[in-house]
Amino acid sequence: MAVLDEMHLRRNPTLTVGQKFWSINWGLVLLICLLSGFGLAMLYSAANGSFQPWAGRQAVRFLLGLSVMFGCALIDIRFWFRFAYPLYILSLLLLVAVEIMGSIGMGAQRWIDLGVIQLQPSEIMKVALVLALARYFHGLTVQDVGRPHYLIPPIFMALAPAALVMRQPDLGTAIMLLMVTGAVFFAAGVRWWKFAIVIALVAGAVPLAWSHLHGYQRNRVLTFLNPESDPLGAGYHIMQSKIALGSGGVLGKGFLQGSQSHLNFLPEKQTDFIFTMLAEELGMVGGLLLLTLFFLVFVYGFAIALRSRNHFGRIVALGLTINLFLYVFINIAMVTGLIPVVGVPLPLVSYGGTAMLAVLFSLGLVISVSVHRDVRIPRRGLREEA
């Protein structure tokens, strides 16, 4: 043990930019590029074999996002540790701003128009919340985590943005925020029975929540339960998506040959339903290949979390990986008819600027955790050591 400790101490915690660059996980970067390549190919097909209007713009965004990712990866983990709370506060303020002056888009107030791009604060919040929670749990001992009153601040840190997002109304993102919070709590070592209590409370609150749901949200749940009941109405999306998937078969109809997508039976094929289109044209083989690529990304994320020498980095890497996983799972489960239709895009693949930037930003943070895995951050914070 002592020998190992000596080795760690000898290693210089402050690396040069060149060293950092070479310690980036290039395998992970390759996976990310492959996934985005898949996405661009499908967007090219969705436009009937054209780079306009989606694939071309998405490629530019991807390159932009890639540079953001590298930028994040090279920034010292201690910077993110220091700015975790301010970033969270800023995100919370942006959510409030959306509530006050958000413009109307898709029947929900989710955007802030900054002139150049439309900013979606809930996307930033997903990252900021993980950072803030990681920052908080970093400062708790195992014993502290076991004390209930220590859990009250992080619960409110999660509930505040979730409530604001719910008001937009964006049920899917609100649930995702809570699920990520749950995962972080779990990873931080919160006891099983506490989760059991929360789950019991939620189950008891379902009837109450039902009465507060918007009409369209209720319809989504109802048509999920029986999509065939209204094939031309609300169940149309799910039915057509299942038809597209099923008719694709094992090997698919061939690139650019998906009849369901190209004849517009498939709704929003360039965004939420892009996986359906992929599985229709490239079949189960293509779908499973994409799932495998995602799986490898998650493996990288978990490995990075486990190798980090600071608790903050561990929780950040794990939380953001789980966040990414939830995106992937909810999207694919939705288009295959396993869960109700919730507006969640498929990360790196679906068309959309903010989502692409947010995902690459969070992956940049994960890589940063990896690059700075040997940086030690004292439990009580940085100032103490300095």
259 contacts another protein (rule: CB under 8 A): yes
Q: Amino acid identity of 32?
A: I
The single residue among 68, 90, 222, 288 that binds another protein, judged by CB under 8 A, is 288
234 contacts another protein (rule: CB under 8 A): no
In the complex with another protein, the residue whose CB is nearer, 217 or 259, is 259
In the complex with another protein, the residue whose CB is nearer, 116 or 263, is 263
Which region, judged by CB under 8 A, interacts with another protein, from 53-61, 110-118, 213-221, 245-253? 245-253
Which region, judged by CB under 8 A, interacts with another protein, from 88-96, 120-128, 161-169, 324-332? 324-332
> Residue 66: which residues within 8 A CB-CB, separation 6 or more?
32, 360
The single residue among 44, 300, 325, 351 that binds another protein, judged by CB under 8 A, is 325
The single residue among 217, 222, 333, 353 that binds another protein, judged by CB under 8 A, is 333
194 contacts another protein (rule: CB under 8 A): no
Which region, judged by CB under 8 A, interacts with another protein, from 106-114, 172-180, 329-337, 357-365? 329-337
Task: Kindly list the strands in the beta sheet with 108-113, ordered across the sheet, starting from the edge strand earlier in the chain.
Answer: 103-105, 108-113, 118-119
Q: Amino acid identity of 267?
A: P
**CB 313 → another protein: shortest distance, Å?**
11
In the complex with another protein, the residue whose CB is nearer, 62 or 185, is 185
Which region, judged by CB under 8 A, interacts with another protein, from 68-76, 95-103, 166-174, 297-305? 297-305
Q: Amino acid identity of 188?
A: A
> Residue 375: which residues within 8 A CB-CB, separation 6 or more?
13, 76, 77, 78, 309, 310, 313
Neighbours of 262 (CB within 10 A): 20
Strand 108-113 versus strand 103-105 pairing type: antiparallel
Written as one string, the DSSP assignment of 226-290 is: -GGGSTTTTTHHHHHHHHHHHHHTTT-S-TT--HHHHTT-STTTTTTTHHHHHHHHHHHHHHHHH
How many positions of this chain bind another protein (CB under 8 A)? 47
In the complex with another protein, the residue whose CB is nearer, 70 or 302, is 302
**CB 209 → another protein: shortest distance, Å?**
23
In the complex with another protein, the residue whose CB is nearer, 67 or 247, is 247
**CB 166 → another protein: shortest distance, Å?**
24
The single residue among 178, 274, 322, 348 that binds another protein, judged by CB under 8 A, is 322
Give the Cα separation of 386 and 190 in Å (integer).
31
Binding map of another protein across residues 137-166, x = CB under 8 A, - = no contact? ----xx------------------------
Give the Cα separation of 340 and 164 in Å (integer).
22
In the complex with another protein, the residue whose CB is nearer, 163 or 306, is 306
> Half-sphere exposure of residue 142, counting CA atoms within 13 Å on the CB side?
0
Place of tokens 């929003």: 268
- At residue 108, φ and ψ (nearest 5 deg) are -140, 145
Virtual torsion, Cα 10, 14, 19, 21, nearest 10 deg: 140
Give the Cα separation of 238 and 289 in Å (integer).
23
The single residue among 318, 320, 344, 371 that binds another protein, judged by CB under 8 A, is 318
The single residue among 284, 296, 374, 381 that binds another protein, judged by CB under 8 A, is 284
302 contacts another protein (rule: CB under 8 A): yes
In the complex with another protein, the residue whose CB is nearer, 166 or 366, is 366
The separation between the first and the last C-alpha atoms of the chain, rounded to the nearest angstrom, is 26
The single residue among 295, 296, 353, 374 that binds another protein, judged by CB under 8 A, is 295
CB 298 within 8 A of CB 319: no
**CB 177 → another protein: shortest distance, Å?**
17
Nearest Cα neighbor of 366 from 182, 172, 57, 134 is 134
**Residue ranges binding another protein (CB under 8 A):** 141-142, 183, 186-189, 240, 242-250, 259-260, 263-265, 279, 283-284, 287-288, 291, 294-295, 298, 302, 305-306, 311, 314-315, 318, 322, 325, 329, 332-333, 336-338, 379
